[in-house]
Structure 1
Amino acid sequence: MLKKITLIVLLIVLIKPAYDYGPKIIDGVNNFLNNHSAEITDATSEVITVVSDGVNTIASNISNMTTSSNTIKNSTLINEVQSIEELADAFYYYFSNWITEFEIHYKGSTSDIEHIIESAVKDAKSRNQYIEGHLSDRKIEYEYGVMDSKIKVYQQYLTTPEQELIVDSEVTNILSTVNPQNMTDFEKVKFVNDYIVKNTSYSEDTTASPHSACAVVSEGKGVCQGYALLALKLLQALGVESKYVVGEVYTGGHAWNLVKVDGEWYHLDTTWNDPVPDRPNTVSYKYFLINDAQIKLDHSWDQANYPEAKSKKYSFMKQVDHAYELNGYMYYSNIEDDNLLYRVDLNSGVSEKVTDSRAQFIVGYGDWLYFSNYSKGAYLTKIRTNGTEESTLYQTEVKNLFIEDGHLYFTTPDGLKKMALQ
């Protein structure tokens, strides 16, 4: 006689601001079970519901157990495994291909089959945090004898194979605009942070799951989980060692990243660097390359599961607004000094004031900086990078400056203007 066991794993997705998502997941699992039912006879059954991968366990005996009548046949992967490692290999194969229903044949002692399956799933998930972050509800059924078990898995995801093709394509397009070989780790992380913040609005109103990287990269909207997973994907593609962090903030569950820059770990929270409500082309750096002590003020996480971040090298970034990098310096509006124009040497971390003018929308060309001067009516102003020869170019309020093809573009109350640069 075979025993039949069903495990259901509910993964609580992380969002900011938090809301009561648990009942929706439970309802979905109940529907999932109802839609995969068929009567089996001559079986002793037990249902084990595991919340958050085994934190809490509730067991009850049920007669006339129901199971799925559908079985996915494996043709590209061997469906017979003989160890926990091989079982983990199989799970990882299916997870990484976003396959929703599959069966694995386990040949070996089943005296501890539940632990074997749980260990294999844990191993498989740990191999790729991007995949792990997109895993959702899971139901596992297994029938077993003394030395044989058939494991059926029904796995849901926050994404689809088609959506991941979109993500891969968009990531390639995004990174085609930079040359990683000529970038420092700092520049790579800043590029990722700036791209996500400038091109994303915090929102749950998406076609794809707002918790997925696809929603962020294809719709320009999403929540913290999507921000952090896309950041992870981009950073890893740029060769920056990074991690996906799950923790909490005052609103509830939250997700962000850890990144390694020049051998030191730092926290990066692209979601909290994105102003709400959204301010186009505005990037905050309050949560950019900060250490454990800094982020611990309003974030919490299981520190034992992640590397320690101790460096204060980039603590100056919390005062940075409207940043522009040029020739080893970052020019910025110092929010801790009345938004005056400053610059910092990116090698030494030493900051200095460039001018007493309040600057926003800073861009550069050659030896010149251009900005909106809020000390003088937000007029268009230029100044040499060494702080000399400051002058007003356009006596009208300007904003949203950018340079393209040797021309300076800016927005005025009358619309978009452009000016040739020499």
Structure 2
Amino acid sequence: MFKRKLFLPLLPAILIFSLLMPISAPKASAASSDDFLYNSIYNGILHMQSKISLGKYGQESSKITAAYQKVLDNHPEIFYTQYYFQWSPGYFYPKYISSKSEITKMQASLNSKVNAAVKTAKTKKTELERIIYLHDFLVNSTSYDYDHYVKNSLPQSSFTAYGALVSHKAVCDGYAKALRLLLNKAGIWAIKVNGTVSSGDHAWNMVKTGGSYYYIDSTFDDPVTNDRSDVLTYKYLLVPESKLAKDHVWNKSKLPKASSTKYQKLYSLSDFVRYNSSIYYANQNDHKLYRMTLTGSSVTKVDNHPIYSLKIIGSTLYYINLADHNSVYQMKLGGTSKQKIKNTQAGFLSVKGSSLYFYNNVSNKMVKLR
């Protein structure tokens, strides 16, 4: 989360605006001055115009700022304008991050990433599988730009879908824009939602599937760990507003009601991995390894030993066996070929790329296992 301070000087001026103003995402029409501003700015930026005519409606800085804000939220494929802009009565002057030729190359890179991910997502059998695949793709391929965040030196790219999907570094705004772009390209209704959390301004998504609306916070599902290891959680995946409202604040008045708890088993998981349409997890009651479908059905016990820190690389599961002095084990997905691979006091497992690490409780160090 990152809160950007703004100011609004007198005309003519350069306006710095926040990317995290609460909005809904209505479909634009030419029925009002707001819609005229929205359409004018959108079409002008789409064609990379340096001077965009706003006609008689371009007289109020607050309305121009709101329209520009809405364009960027509704069109995450537009990543190539600066946060600030210049304007004079009746005209809008966007500032582009580079030359037209360079931006065209950057667009090609973003489109390539998006199209490849969506192509794979569309091979999934159900819409639910496509949503989860794209959520996981984003979380697994993007890291929160923590280093720049703590230095208060975040680059603009970290607030964009380009930053998340091409540079692989983003903050909440970039995560939310990237997920909207991926889901929309896959034919799934999704919008970006803006609000606040305890640390400041924040952004996430609302999606529609199976006739119901849900929220997804992909930033919170990609927590920053002390050792910077890759972590994927489902705590904010397809959640109702009642759960999200425990630590998020936003304007719900213009948004559809999201009350379904259909995927409670998913967002209640704490120690799990996904392989295609199956979830492997440590049951919170007996800590034993189970398997279920994405909808929480067909629950099957895979192994009788209590486990902890479940990980997956390829089609092999790794875990700490609590019944064997916290030794590290591996097994195939069906529960076969189980074997001890490290006789040690392991605190937890960690995956970085395709490598497996464990925390050695004796030396208090992370050790590469394979």
> Scaled by the length of structure 2, what TM-score is found?
0.72
Deviation at 1:255, TM superposition (A): 0.1
1:262-281 mapped onto 2 (5 Å cutoff) = 262-277=210-225, 279-281=228-230
Deviation at 1:97, TM superposition (A): 3.8
In 2, the alpha carbon distance for the partners of 1:179 and 1:267 equals 19
In 2, the alpha carbon distance for the partners of 1:394 and 1:174 equals 34
Q: Using a 3 Å threshold, how does the CA distance of structure 1 residues 220 and 340 change in structure 2: closer, same or farther?
A: farther
Higher share in strand: 1
Q: Which residue in the other structure is 2:151 paired with? A: none
1:209-288 mapped onto 2 (5 Å cutoff) = 209-277=157-225, 279-288=228-237
What's the CA shift string for 1:356-393, capped at 9, x where partnerless?
A: 3315113675xxx63323323343332663x6x67325
In 1, the alpha carbon distance for the partners of 2:196 and 2:54 equals 39
Q: Which residue in the other structure is 1:26 paired with? A: 7
In 2, the alpha carbon distance for the partners of 1:401 and 1:277 equals 12
Deviation at 1:281, TM superposition (A): 3.2
Q: Which residue in the other structure is 1:130 paired with? A: 75
Q: Is the 8 A contact 1:282 1:322 kept in 2?
A: no
Q: Which residue in the other structure is 2:331 paired with? A: 382
Which amino acid letter does the alignment assign opposite residue 374 of structure 1?
Answer: N
Counterpart selection for 1:392 from 336, 339, 344: 339
Q: Using a 3 Å threshold, how does the CA distance of structure 1 residues 186 and 98 change in structure 2: closer, same or farther?
A: farther
Q: Which residue in the other structure is 2:25 paired with? A: none
In 2, the alpha carbon distance for the partners of 1:197 and 1:307 equals 26
Q: Using a 3 Å threshold, how does the CA distance of structure 1 residues 174 and 337 change in structure 2: closer, same or farther?
A: same
In 1, the alpha carbon distance for the partners of 2:202 and 2:97 equals 16
In 1, the alpha carbon distance for the partners of 2:223 and 2:70 equals 32
1:153-168 mapped onto 2 (5 Å cutoff) = 153-156=92-95, 161-162=103-104, 163-168=106-111
Counterpart selection for 2:306 from 344, 351, 357: 357
Give unpaired runs (5+ residues) of structure 2. Answer: 22-29, 149-153, 359-365
Question: Which SS does the other structure have where 1:324 is aligned?
Answer: strand
Question: Which SS does the other structure have where 2:230 is aligned?
Answer: coil
Number of residue pairs matched by the alignment: 332
Question: Which SS does the other structure have where 2:157 is aligned?
Answer: coil
Deviation at 1:352, TM superposition (A): 5.2
Q: Which residue in the other structure is 2:274 paired with? A: 324
Question: Which SS does the other structure have where 2:258 is aligned?
Answer: coil
Give unpaired runs (5+ residues) of structure 1. Answer: 1-15, 35-48, 56-80, 143-150, 418-422
Q: Which residue in the other structure is 1:304 paired with? A: 253
Q: Using a 3 Å threshold, how does the CA distance of structure 1 residues 188 and 396 change in structure 2: closer, same or farther?
A: farther
What's the CA shift string for 1:257-311, capped at 9, x where partnerless?
A: 1111222111110111112226433201111111000000000110012221111
Q: 1:171 aligned to 2:118?
A: no
In 1, the alpha carbon distance for the partners of 2:340 and 2:286 equals 23
Q: Which residue in the other structure is 1:94 paired with? A: 44
Q: Which residue in the other structure is 1:196 paired with? A: 138
In 2, the alpha carbon distance for the partners of 1:217 and 1:52 equals 22
Range that drifts further, 213-222 or 345-354: 345-354
> Scaled by the length of structure 1, what TM-score is found?
0.64
Q: Using a 3 Å threshold, how does the CA distance of structure 1 residues 337 and 115 change in structure 2: closer, same or farther?
A: same
In 1, the alpha carbon distance for the partners of 2:317 and 2:17 equals 55
Q: Using a 3 Å threshold, how does the CA distance of structure 1 residues 182 and 189 change in structure 2: closer, same or farther?
A: closer
Identity %: 22
Q: Which residue in the other structure is 2:91 paired with? A: 152
Counterpart selection for 1:294 from 243, 268, 271: 243
Deviation at 1:332, TM superposition (A): 2.0
> What's the Cα RMSD here?
4.4
